[in-house]
Amino acid sequence: MDFDAFLLSRLQFAFTIAFHILFPSFTIGLASYLAVLEGLWLATGRERFKTLYLFWVRIFALSFGMGVVTGVVLSYEIGANWSGFAAKSGSVLGPLLAFEVLTAFFLEASFLGVMLFGWKKVGRKLHFAASCAVAVGTLFSTFWIVSANSWMQHPTAFATLPDGRLVATDWMRVIFSPSFPLRLLHMVLAAYLTTALVVGAASAWRLLKTPDETESRTALIMAIGMFALVAPLQLAVGDQQGLKMGELQPAKLAAVEALWESRAGQPFHILAWPDRALQANRWELSIPRLGSLILKHDPNATVTGLKAFSRADQPPPLPVFYAFRLMVGLGLAMIGLGVWGALLIWRGSPERSRVFLWTCVAMGPAGFVSVVSGWVVAEVGRQPWVVYGVQRTADAVAPLQRGQVSASLLGFLMVYAIIFSAGVIYILRLIDRGPAAGAAPPPPDEGRAPGVSFNAALDPDTTEDGR
């Protein structure tokens, strides 16, 4: 193995997976939101739910496409860049990933076609069923992939064969490994929050421009409801995860809190500069005993510090420490936004407060930032292990050379930059135009069989040669 190929593989994997997770975090929530909107439309017959559906489904189509193509990349990188990992854990994790394909990806991909192109081809109820199937598919997908990841965080119910490969000894305990339930809940709530923040920001933006747009008002209120309900729940789940982490991955917990010494009554560092070479913090700004209170729910409890682990087993504390604070800080801000919005609704009209609307716009990307920070905490905090305590990341890497991995990393950087900028521009452009513009009534069915994408319904200046 070539050491640079190892570093480059890590960089490439971190980049491609962080890029991928942006789209699922949004499409998981949006798929459920779309199913709810269509259900509300069918149940109440109110046009505005249909208008909102037709508007968001176009944004969904764009994001889902990006989610699919970046996801396919990951499923091949596991073998191409981490063949040591694939060979060792394949018999345990492989089935979980295969079940993801069988239960989720086929469901999503097939019914997505009906959802996007079948508006005029199938009845209303069947179309609604397709929307629901896609929503359920995204949740199945989350289930399996988070299950696989949870097992990597705390492997259980496996045995090691003489040639070093792992086999499962109890599938239920592999699938439902100890950190899985909380992690799954945290991820699904994260996806719902991310979507709600985007919907809230888009609606607020429209309301700043056209204060009496009823669709946007409805959407804003739905989004505020989600902040107010889900954000506090997320805090509670995250808190439980912290307790679990202390039990299952004490080294990660010590890195998250930048604690070096093991002792009772640990402080909480608001800010610090952990330095691995020094094996201490260069400086810190702390509140005494609060650390133990948060991490163990007891101000006098003992919390293990990083020094209890040999240097080779310590995760890098700096990124983990700050990523965690970013996630929690934004989570608290989301709770604040929910409370503020609920108060405004209680007083009558949230769309009148321009300060609130601008804050919603500013918070639009907060979900994405929190999700990526959360995964940095989970994954970088797991280092130097790829399968915690069982296989080191350095032993997982494929026998590749530096040149190859540089070339592929460069390719991903370039292609993803193009895809990302175009995708973001198209989505922002749709949002700017608002729900009413996108919901031009479909023409009468001419009895032909075109699959018609909602995204085809754009202004006439989109023909290729500019006619």
Partner 1 sequence: MSLDLPLIWAGIIAATVLLYVMLDGFDLGIGILFPFARSPADRDAMMNAIAPVWDGNETWLVLGGGGLLAAFPLAYALLLPALYLPIILMLLGLALRGVAFEFRLNGRRSGKRFWTMAFAGGSLAATFAQGLVLGGFIQGVKADGVVFAGGPFDWLTPYSALVACGLAAGYVLLGAGWLMWKTEDALHGDARRWTAIAGVLTALLLLAVSLATLFLHPRVAARWGVVDGTVDWSRFLPKAPIPLLGVAGLGLLTFGLRRASHALPFVGAVLVFLSGYLGLAAGFMPYVAPYVLTFRQAAAADNALALMLGGAALLAPAIVGYTVWVYWVFRGKVGADAGYH
The nearest distance, CB 321 to ligand HEM, in angstroms, is 12
- Does residue number 54 form part of the binding site for ligand HDD (CB under 6 A)? no
Q: Is the Cβ–Cβ distance between 224 and 288 less than 8 Å?
A: no
Strands (E), 161-205: 166-168
- Does residue number 431 form part of the binding site for ligand HEM (CB under 6 A)? no
- Does residue number 57 form part of the binding site for ligand HEM (CB under 6 A)? no
Q: Which residue has tokens 């999700």?
A: 371
- Does residue number 149 form part of the binding site for ligand HEM (CB under 6 A)? yes
The nearest distance, CB 451 to ligand HEM, in angstroms, is 31
Nearer to ligand HEM, 255 or 427 (CB): 255
Bridge partners (DSSP) of residue 264 are 302
Nearer to ligand HDD, 68 or 345 (CB): 68
Q: How far apart are CA 198 and CA 176, in angstroms?
A: 32
Residue 235's binding partner among ligand HEM, ligand HDD, partner 1, none (Cβ under 5 to 8 angstroms by kind) is ligand HEM
Nearer to partner 1, 348 or 443 (CB): 443
Structure tokens that stand for 178 in this block: 């100890």
- Does residue number 67 form part of the binding site for ligand HEM (CB under 6 A)? no
Binding ligand HEM (rule: CB under 6 A), the pick from 53, 85, 140, 340 is 85
> What is the footprint of ligand HEM within residues 279-338 (CB under 6 A)?
327-328, 330-331, 334
- Does residue number 80 form part of the binding site for ligand HDD (CB under 6 A)? no
In degrees, rounded to 5, the angle at the alpha carbon of residue 393 between the alpha carbons of residues 252 and 84 is 145
Element at 158 (helix H, strand E)? strand 158-160
Residue 288's binding partner among ligand HEM, partner 1, ligand HDD, none (Cβ under 5 to 8 angstroms by kind) is none
The closest of 146, 170, 126 to 28, measured between CA atoms, is 146
Say how many residues touch ligand HEM, by CB under 6 A: 45
Q: How far apart are CA 175 and CA 55, in angstroms?
A: 37
In degrees, rounded to 5, the angle at the alpha carbon of residue 122 between the alpha carbons of residues 119 and 123 is 95
- Does residue number 147 form part of the binding site for ligand HDD (CB under 6 A)? no
Which alpha helices (H) appear in 271-313, and where do they start and end? 290-296
- Does residue number 40 form part of the binding site for ligand HEM (CB under 6 A)? no
Element at 246 (helix H, strand E)? helix 214-248
> What is the footprint of ligand HEM within residues 8-27 (CB under 6 A)?
10, 13-14, 17-18, 21
Instruction: Count CA atoms closer than 13 A to 114's CA, side-chain side.
Output: 19
- Does residue number 104 form part of the binding site for ligand HEM (CB under 6 A)? no
3-state secondary structure of 442: coil
Would the CA dihedral through 67, 69, 70, 74 be positive or negative? positive
Q: How far apart are CA 158 and CA 201, in angstroms?
A: 46
> What is the footprint of ligand HEM within residues 228-247 (CB under 6 A)?
234-235, 238-239, 241-242, 245
Q: Is the Cβ–Cβ distance between 419 and 108 less than 8 Å?
A: no
- Does residue number 390 form part of the binding site for ligand HEM (CB under 6 A)? no
- Does residue number 194 form part of the binding site for ligand HEM (CB under 6 A)? yes
Q: How far apart are CA 283 and CA 241, in angstroms?
A: 27
Residue 428's binding partner among partner 1, ligand HEM, ligand HDD, none (Cβ under 5 to 8 angstroms by kind) is none
Q: Which residues in this chain contact ligand HEM in the complex, by CB under 6 A?
A: 10, 13-14, 17-18, 21, 82, 85, 145, 148-149, 179, 183, 186-187, 190, 193-194, 234-235, 238-239, 241-242, 245, 327-328, 330-331, 334, 367, 370-372, 374-381, 383, 386, 393
